[in-house]
A and B are shown apart, each in its own frame.
Chain A
Amino acid sequence: MNENDEPRIGVFVCHCGVNIGSVVNVPEVVEYAKTLPNVVRAEGNLYTCSSEGLSKLKEAIKKFHINRVVVASCTPRTHEPLFRSACEEAGLNKYLFHMANIREQCSWVHPKDPKSATGKAKEIVKMAVAKAALLEPQTEPEIDVLPTALVIGGGVAGITAALSLANQKFNVHLVEKENELGGKLKELYKLYPSNNHASEILEEFVRAVRSNTNIKVHTSSTVRYTEGFIGNFKVTINHEGKDETLNTGTIIVATGADVLKPYGLYSYGESKNVLTQLEFEQTMKKGELGNPKNVVMIQCAGAREEKEGGRNYCSRICCAVAVKNALQIKELSPETEVYVLYRDMQTYGKEFEEQYRRARENSVQFIRYEVKLPPEIFARPDGELAVRVYDTLINANLELDADLVVLSTPLIQGKETEELSKILKVPLGSERFFFEAHVKLRPVDFATDGIFVCGTAHSPKTIPESIAQAYAAASRAGIPMALRRVRTEAITAFVNEDLCTGCGTCAMLCPYSAIRKDEQGIARVNDVLCKGCGVCSASCPEKAIKMKHFSDAQVLAEATAALGGA
């Protein structure tokens, strides 16, 4: 069988259990597929993705000399790699495979109208067959990967990632914008559950980094710009006004988060006795707590706001931090009354719940307030601070004297996050933290190959959670560096030099900076950077740029089929 021969198309229609089969009449679609041009075989499967379904697919390719394959099933997002490799195993170039989505685009959206859904499934299959007839084999170029990583951010996540990569025998550049490593760990007092001083733990981390010969630390340095691609990034960092370019194979973003300073809320900034939890940690760290009579903590200060444009996410760690600090106060100054005003106590998991219990046993007072009736800060006639809160348990207003008011404010995106996301061309999510490739199954990958994220730059999390995620980033970054090679996208743009006038529109629009003009003024595509998005091809006034696997002829064949043509 040869792809240059006359197309011999095999169509495999999947029931996807009842997902498709209970709506679309699969046998009818199979019979219809058999009538389409170039189709030499059509069959139905309960689950084409099962081992059984895949072996049937491979057998059919061999038995019927199929040289183009269409699977009508679910989404290529999850299943295209599987079917493509099945084709490869049967001796076909994997780009001679095409997927028709009759689940998300048909059965799932038309569950109440099986007849029309079956008709639509037929049309989707018809389009796929029309395109399949014109498919051409493609190759995925392999490129070398430099076994060096760049870790941006020298907090606990960045340090952990750097150490793990160094232990995997890769070279690591660890870039920190401040003049010493440590990030937020530098500002914390004592840590749960070991009750160790943050400074002791930080010291151990820093010693491990400094003594590891595979790690080069760049403090007081920031990332200016990057170019290149997985395996071969060139990252320019600036150290005290001087630029230096580093060559790295992978990049890990571990730039952390900031703590919201809630100016305008709860008299923050107006009274020196209203602090954030982080500022309060420093008070304790400096031994300046003294023996206040009352400390009032207010949770969700500037978080979980139920208003338009508000910061509505839960910052995850603040309740546990408040409980920890409440217990610290009780340890340092047992006579102090501590009140925690909360909406929902987010002491999830095993340790925090136990700490919460311990705090209640140690007479820390937890008072629940409603979002509609938030606590108010006011001054007594003698000038002393007090907090008024509506306690939903006893249904009454309480007035609490407060020598200190401690606000649990959320972690928010770090200062340099927006700029770094532009420099690295990686996205931010709705909460303005870095946005991963898939929230469920790719928590530390970016959609861009070779760049990874960990720690609170990804979302608010605890130290052990940041550490676990940092190891994860070190694993993911370690994969291409261990192999020293990576396969890249085959579906890229290519330029017809005879037609290109060098207008530069494509280079200007390319979101991946994959197009440059050469000395002759002709557009050149960097195949590794190109993600095949097609913006250049669509915008080229001379129609000089074509997309592999999405040629005009292929797309037009699909469209013609959809519009009822042959």
Chain B
Amino acid sequence: MHNRVLVVGGGIAGIQASLDLANRGIKVYLVEELPSIGGRMAQLDKTFPTLDCSICILAPKMIECLRHPNINLLTYSKVTEVKGEIGNFTAKIMKEPRYVDMEKCTGCGTCTEKCPVKVPNEFDMNLGSRKAIYMPFKQAVPLVATIDPNNCLYFTKGVCQICRKLCPSSAINFEQKPEEMVVNVSSIIVATGFDIFDPLVMSEYGYSRYKNVIHSMEFERIICASGPTGGHLVRPSDGKEPKSVAFIQCVGSRSQAGKIPYCSSVCCVYATKESILIKEHAPETEVYVLYIDLRAIGKGFQEFVDKSKKEYGVEYIKAHPGEISEDPISKNLQINYEDSQSSEMKRLTVDMVILCPALIPKKDNKKIAEIMGLELDKDGFFKSRDELTAPIDSNIPGIYVCGYCQSPKDIPESVAQASGAAARAAEATVCATTEAVQ
């Protein structure tokens, strides 16, 4: 019997589950594959329907994880092996080398400033740049540097080492090796989150072919004050503020033919939020949302959509566009769609298009499922023991799932399910026998 829990995934779900457990005195290993915890929520500008600044409400929880005496934060790490059963799991965790001594690094940023190699910044959806030694974002937790060996001149050409020379804490260590650790836990919580469907598949919308067609996660970074444009909404083609913007819903989702059959559950309302953000930045901008069914299903969401229509003048058009074409000179975009009211073919010309792609389970889920013996459903989400009555339990007793990796859901639902997973894990650690939790 081990009074410990392993949490896999450091987004809002993993963070909430860890904090609930740690706050009741249970030790937690929180494993995150990226250099910082925070997940997708850290990348968002604001959250619906309250328009809270996303990182502002998340950062205190991230720091609480770092500082909590009951949480062992294992970033840049992956679970490689799991054995055992409820009450007694053994997990192997592989910690990737950062080539920076975490104990010594103070996050001062000297290295990241002086490093000569610029690479696209994944955190900014590759819109801005970072260096080969980097901290993914300003509020990263832990705030320590990481060297990306694929781009570092020392690792690729054996030269440079500027970071090593300049680091005031002598924290750079090019010799660092992967480290393996073995932990014993009574239960495991899986919270791996989601990825974004590649809108390239929908070639009719011209993503990447047309510069001014971007997707919603890119938009979140552009509109964010700490993003690559400092929060200025500008078109990628000419750096000018768009006078008109259209959002397109269900890009890849709710469709068959090799795409994504399900509804991602959050896009209608986040597009509404993003529309409001545009209107707040530049009230004169014309904003359109093209949708199939407007799904404002959560608490306060319908009111939020009403506000977007009435107070901000966002226009909602019930249509699923066939294709987008680009004016080769102005780089403006023409959206061709069938108006569902009149059944006529119509055209909408805008300066910028924002695609709302399906949100999809992480590719890595397959590997995690294999390692832990978990079942995935046909879409790649972790399967619940019983979808109706046991939404948090996986097919393996003692392993629980929460957040988007279990099924599409928004932040409050993820938080609730994560607390719920913490309750299940607490039951497993408190109970003397495995029967009692079944």
- Decide whether A and B assemble into one complex: yes
B389 beta carbon closer than 8 Å to chain A: yes
Tell me the bound Cα distance from A365 to B294 in angstroms: 19
Q: By the criterion CB–CB under 8 Å, are A194 and B387 in contact?
A: yes
Q: Which of B49-57, B192-200, B363-371 contacts A (4 or more CB under 8 A)?
A: B49-57
CA gap between A54 and B254 in the complex, in Å: 46
Cα separation A354 to B415 with both chains bound (whole Å) = 25
Q: Per a CB cutoff under 8 Å, which of A78, A347, A392, A431 touches B263? A: A347
Cross-chain contact B143 with A50 (CB below 8 angstroms): yes
Chain B residues with CB under 8 A of A441: 12, 16, 57, 61, 411-412, 415
CB distance A82 to B436 under 8 Å? Answer: no
Give complex CA distance A15, B188 in Å. Answer: 39
A353/B52 in contact, CB under 8 A: no
Shortest C-beta distance, A485 to chain B (Å), equals: 11
Q: Nearest Cβ in chain B — how far from A206, in angstroms?
A: 13
Cα–Cα distance between A54 and B67 once the two chains are bound (Å) = 11
Contact B419 A82 (CB under 8 A): no
In whole angstroms, what is the CA distance A566 to B294 when docked? Answer: 57
- Among A46, A85, A344, contact of B293 (Cβ-Cβ < 8 Å): A344
A74 vs B301: C-alpha distance in the bound complex, in angstroms?
A: 27
Assuming A82-B60, A350-B379, A479-B23, is B261 touching A168 (CB within 8 A)? no
What is the distance, in angstroms, from A241's C-beta to the closest C-beta of chain B? 36
The reply on A109 being an interface residue by CB < 8 A is no
Q: How many angstroms from the CA of A346 to the CA of B268 in the assembled complex? A: 11
- Complex formed: what's the CA distance from A22 to B224 in Å? 13
Whether A51 lies near B262 (C-beta < 8 A) is: no
B19-68, CB < 8 A from A: 20, 23-25, 47, 49-50, 52-53, 56-57, 59-61, 63-64, 66-67
A65 to chain B minimum Cβ distance, whole angstroms, is 23
Give the Cβ gap from B376 to chain A, nearest Cβ, in Å.
12
Interface centre among A46, A204, A459 (most CB of B within 10 A): A459
Contact A46 B225 (CB under 8 A): no
Minimum CB distance partner of B408 in chain A? A349
A316-360 CB mask vs B (1 if < 8 Å, else 0) is 100000000000000000000000000011111111111001000
Shortest CB-to-CB span from A418 to chain B, Å, is: 18
A residues in contact with B231, CB < 8 Å: 18
Inter-chain contact A440/B421, CB cutoff 8 Å: no
Contact of A18 among B225, B341, B390, B416 (CB under 8 A): B225
Which residue, of A51, A306, A345, has the highest number of chain B Cβ atoms within 10 A?
A51
A351 to B337, CA, bound (A): 28
Instruction: Report the bound CA distance from A49 to B57 in whole Å.
Output: 12
Contact call A350/B381, Cβ cutoff below 8 A: yes
List chain A residues, Cβ under 8 A from B345: none
Does B340 have its Cβ within 8 Å of any Cβ on chain A?
Answer: yes
* B302 interface hit (Cβ, 8 Å): yes
Chain A, residues 440-472, CB within 8 Å of chain B (1/0): the string is 111110000000000000110001110111111
Are A345 and B293 interface neighbours, CB within 8 A?
Answer: yes
Q: Tell me the minimal C-beta distance from A11 to chain B in angstroms.
A: 21
A396 to B402, CA, bound (A): 46
Question: What A residues does B384 contact at CB under 8 A?
Answer: 464
Q: A344 near B294 (CB under 8 angstroms)?
A: yes
CB A430 to nearest CB in B, in angstroms, measures 7
CB of B223 to closest CB in A, whole Å: 13
Asked whether A479 and B24 contact (CB < 8 A) given A167-B437, A353-B254, A440-B411, the answer is yes
- Which residues from B are CB-within-8-Å of A346? 293, 295, 297
* Alpha-carbon distance between A269 and B300 when the two chains are bound, in angstroms: 30
Given contacts A313-B302, A440-B52, contact A49 B63 (CB under 8 A): yes
Nearest to B20 among chain A residues (CB) is A475
Q: A379 at interface (Cβ–Cβ under 8 A)?
A: no
- Given contacts A50-B138, A55-B106, whether A475 and B420 have CB atoms under 8 Å apart is yes
The residues of A that contact B379 with a CB separation of less than 8 Å are 350
In the complex, what distance in Å separates the CA atom of A17 from the CA atom of B225?
8
In the complex, chain A residues whose CB is within 8 Å of the CB of B230: 18, 22
Interface assignment of B343: CB less than 8 Å from any CB of chain A: yes
**B265 part of interface (Cβ distance < 8 Å):** yes
Given A82-B60, A345-B293, A478-B24, check contact A440 B419 (CB 8 Å): no
- Confirm or deny: A520 has a beta carbon within 8 angstroms of a beta carbon on chain B: no
Distance of A345 Cα from B293 Cα, bound (Å): 6
Min C-beta distance of A350 to chain B, whole Å: 4
Q: What residues of A have a CB within 8 angstroms of the CB of B225 in the complex? A: 17-19, 22
Q: Are B340 and A393 in contact (CB under 8 A)?
A: yes
B119 to nearest A CB, angstroms?
21
B282: interface (CB < 8 Å): no
A482 at interface, CB cutoff 8 A: yes
* Residue in A closest to B144 when the chains form the complex, CB atoms: A51
Most central of B230, B301, B389, B430 by chain A CB within 10 Å: B389
Q: Which of B405-424 contact A (CB under 8 A)?
A: 407-409, 411-413, 415-424
Tell me the complex Cα distance, A97–B40, Å.
32
Can you list, as one digit per residue, whether each of B268-305 has a CB less than 8 Å from chain A (1) or not (0)?
A: 00000000000000000000000001111111111100
Measured CB to CB, the nearest residue on chain A to B411 is A440
Smallest CB separation, A475 vs chain B (Å): 4
Q: Let me know if B63 and A351 touch, CB within 8 A.
A: no
B20 touches which one: A17, A344, A465, A479 (CB < 8 A)?
A: A479
B394 to chain A, nearest CB (A): 14
B107 proximal to A (CB < 8 A): yes
Is the beta-carbon distance between B303 and A430 smaller than 8 angstroms? yes
CB distance from A10 to the nearest CB of B (A): 19
> Which residues on the B side are within 8 Å of A313 (C-beta)?
299-300, 302-303
Q: How far is the CA of A301 from the CA of B47 in the complex (A)?
A: 30
> Quick one: closest B residue to A83, CB to CB?
B60
Bound-complex Cα distance A196 to B386 (A): 12
B420 engages A471 (CB within 8 Å): yes
Tell me if A264 counts as interface (CB < 8 A to partner B): no
Closest to A469 in B: B416
With a cutoff of 8 Å between Cβ atoms, the chain A residues found around residue B413 in the complex are 443, 465, 468
Q: Does B182 contact A (CB under 8 A)?
A: no
Q: Determine the distance from Cα of A392 to Cα of B303 in the docked complex, in whole angstroms.
A: 24
Contact yes or no, A52 B143, CB < 8 A:
yes
- Return chain B residues, CB-CB under 8 Å to A354: 261-262
Q: A141 in the interface, Cβ–Cβ < 8 Å?
A: no
On chain B, the residues within 8 Å of A459 by CB distance are 298-299
Residues of B near A541 (CB, < 8 A) are none
The verdict on A350 contacting B377 (CB below 8 Å), with A18-B231, A440-B415 known, is: yes
Encode A72-88 as 1/0 by CB contact (under 8 A) with B.
Answer: 00110011011001000
Chain B residue numbers with a CB within 8 Å of A483 are 23-25
From 334 to 365 in chain B, residues with beta carbon under 8 angstroms from any chain A beta carbon are 340-343
CB < 8 Å neighbour of A167 from B49, B392, B427: B427
Instruction: Report how far A478 CA is from B302 CA in the complex, Å.
Output: 33
Minimum distance in angstroms from A432 CB to a CB of chain B? 12
**Chain A CB within 10 A, most for which of B300, B302, B409, B431:** B302
Tell me if B302 and A304 are in contact (CB < 8 A).
Answer: yes
> Could you tell me the distance between the alpha carbons of A47 and B107 in the complex, rounded to whole angstroms?
12
Instruction: Collect the chain B residues with CB atoms within 8 Å of residue A167's CB.
Output: 427, 430-431, 436-437
**With an 8 A cutoff between CB atoms, is A287 at the interface?**
no
Q: Is the Cβ of B25 less than 8 Å from the Cβ of A482?
A: yes
Q: Contacts of B262 on A, CB cut-off 8 Å?
A: 349-350, 353-354
In the complex, 15 of the A-B residue pairs with CB atoms within 8 angstroms, ordered by the A residue number, are A164-B423, A168-B426, A169-B430, A192-B388, A313-B302, A314-B297, A345-B293, A348-B295, A441-B16, A458-B299, A459-B298, A470-B420, A476-B20, A482-B25, A482-B426
Q: Which residues of A contact B (CB under 8 A)?
A: 17-19, 22, 46-47, 49-52, 54-55, 74-75, 78-79, 81-82, 85, 164, 167-169, 191-194, 196, 201, 204-205, 304, 306, 312-314, 316, 344-354, 357, 368, 392-395, 429-431, 433, 438-444, 458-459, 463-465, 467-476, 478-479, 482-483
- Known A-B contacts: A49-B59, A349-B263. Give 10 more (CB < 8 A): A17-B225, A55-B106, A81-B60, A194-B388, A204-B389, A313-B303, A395-B342, A443-B412, A467-B391, A472-B419
